């Protein structure tokens, strides 16, 4: 039987995080779901009682990175609606129920909700925990200003098929932002104004690697700005995307340098990307 929704979860050495993620699925008030856990060549695999749930399938492959893992997990799925989770994500019990209900309307490409950050280490001064995405008539335009977390979204299968594949070149950098821009192009979405998604931020999270993420994301923005057809940025959208990227990178550089003394790394990044100098200096004088 094809489930109503499938959760596609790439996992590489997920440690203690996978079990709570799966527990949050088992606790869903909407029980018609399946999870495909893609073990991306893990060296260590945790003991997870939730893997015994018959709705959970584990597929093991050689290590090829998160983009290849997501592409493979989708190929193993069959539901009309999918959610791309990470192994360290958590969902509120009503996530599926709340995001699936609007999708009875076939004109909608998907639905999304607000989220929250859960810091798994000492958070920086002035940090924020809320991820409020808000309603929008044009999700593509909104994504130009800031990306969204994939785990906060349920997406219709035909939209995923059109937007695939996740870029191997951008893997563990901006592959999710790139994918969502293609999925959001000229489509309609429903917004659920509740924080039903939690992103657990660890010291090893990919988003902490600001050097790689900034460089790959800047390349991606340039590609969308230069595109002549299909998904493409207007000059205003390109400017907003660059503003977001530089502000984010400068904040992350400052926070990490203050917490672990990596000032040399920050200075090397500024030397390599001079456009960050102003933003980094600005972040040093304000919270």
- 185-227 residue pLDDT tens: 999 999 999 999 999 887 655 556 888 889 999 999 999 999 9
When comparing pLDDT for 47 and 105, which is higher?
105
Same domain, 181 and 214: no
pLDDT band of 257, cuts 50, 70, 90: confident
Q: How many domains does the chain have?
A: 2
Same domain, 243 and 168: no
Q: Please state the pTM of the whole predicted model.
A: 0.92
Sign of the alpha-carbon torsion through 78, 79, 84, 88 = negative
Q: 180 with 125: CB under 8 angstroms?
A: no
- The residue from 179, 207, 235 where one domain ends is 207
Same domain, 191 and 249: no
**In terms of residue numbers, what domain contains 241?**
209-285
Same domain, 163 and 271: no
Residue 207 confidence (pLDDT): 58
Same domain, 13 and 150: yes
- The residue from 172, 189, 207 where one domain ends is 207
pLDDT band of 243, cuts 50, 70, 90: very high
Q: Which residues does 125 contact at the CB level (< 8 Å), separation at least 6? A: 258, 287
Q: Which of 80-89, 146-155, 193-202, 252-261 has the lowest mean pLDDT?
A: 252-261
> Per this entry, what is the length of the chain?
287
Same domain, 113 and 133: yes
Check residue 76 and report its DSSP letter: T
Same domain, 39 and 54: yes
Same domain, 34 and 127: yes
Mean residue pLDDT across the chain: 92
Cβ neighbours around 216 below 10 Å, total: 21
Residue 89 confidence (pLDDT): 95
- The residue from 207, 223, 258 where one domain ends is 207
Same domain, 252 and 135: no
pLDDT band of 118, cuts 50, 70, 90: confident
State the pairing for strand pair 153-156/108-119: antiparallel
pLDDT band of 116, cuts 50, 70, 90: very high
Mean pLDDT of 160-186: 94
| E strand or H helix that includes residue 60 | strand 56-61
Report the C-alpha gap between 75 and 45 in whole angstroms. Answer: 23
User: Does position 148 have pLDDT exceeding 70, yes or no?
Assistant: yes
φ and ψ of 44, to 5 deg:
-125, 130
Same domain, 89 and 219: no
3-state DSSP percent of the chain in helix, strand and coil, to 5: 45, 20, 35
* CATH code of the domain in which 158 resides: 3.90.550.10
Percent of the chain with pLDDT over 90: 80
Same domain, 34 and 160: yes
Residue 73 confidence (pLDDT): 97
Q: 46 with 120: CB under 8 angstroms?
A: no
Report pLDDT digits (tens) over 14-37: 989 999 999 999 999 999 999 999
Report pLDDT digits (tens) over 69-92: 999 999 999 999 999 999 999 999
Same domain, 70 and 186: yes
Phi-psi region of 121 (alpha: psi -120 to 50; beta: other; left: phi over 0): beta
């Amino acid at each position: 039987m094809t489930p109503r929704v499938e959760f596609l979860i790439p996992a590489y050495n997920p440690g203690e995080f996978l079990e709570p993620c799966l527990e949050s699925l088992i606790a869903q008030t909407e029980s018609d779901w399946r999870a495909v856990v893609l073990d991306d060549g893990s060296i260590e695999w945790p003991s997870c009682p939730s893997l015994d749930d018959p709705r959970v399938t584990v597929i093991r492959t050689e290590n090829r990175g998160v983009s290849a893992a997501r592409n493979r997990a989708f190929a193993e799925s069959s539901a009309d609606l999918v959610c791309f989770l990470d192994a360290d994500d958590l969902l509120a019990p009503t996530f599926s129920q709340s995001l699936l209900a609007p999708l009875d309307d076939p004109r909608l490409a998907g639905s999304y909700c607000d989220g929250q950050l859960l810091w798994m280490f000492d958070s920086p001064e002035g940090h924020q925990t809320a991820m409020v995405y808000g309603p929008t008539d044009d999700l593509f335009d909104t994504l130009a200003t800031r990306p969204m977390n994939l785990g906060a979204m349920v997406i219709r299968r035909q939209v995923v098929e059109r937007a695939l594949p996740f870029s191997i070149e951008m893997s563990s950098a901006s592959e999710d932002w790139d994918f969502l821009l293609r999925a959001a192009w000229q489509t309609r979405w429903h917004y659920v104004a509740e924080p039903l998604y939690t992103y657990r931020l660890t010291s090893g999270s990919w988003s902490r690697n600001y050097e790689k993420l900034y460089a790959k994301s800047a390349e991606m923005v340039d590609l969308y700005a230069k595109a002549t057809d299909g998904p493409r940025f207007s000059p205003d959208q390109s400017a907003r995307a660059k503003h977001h990227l530089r502000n984010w990178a400068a904040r992350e550089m400052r926070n990490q340098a203050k917490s672990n003394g990596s000032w040399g790394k920050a200075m090397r990044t500024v030397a390599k990307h001079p456009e960050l100098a102003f933003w980094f200096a600005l972040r040093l004088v304000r919270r």
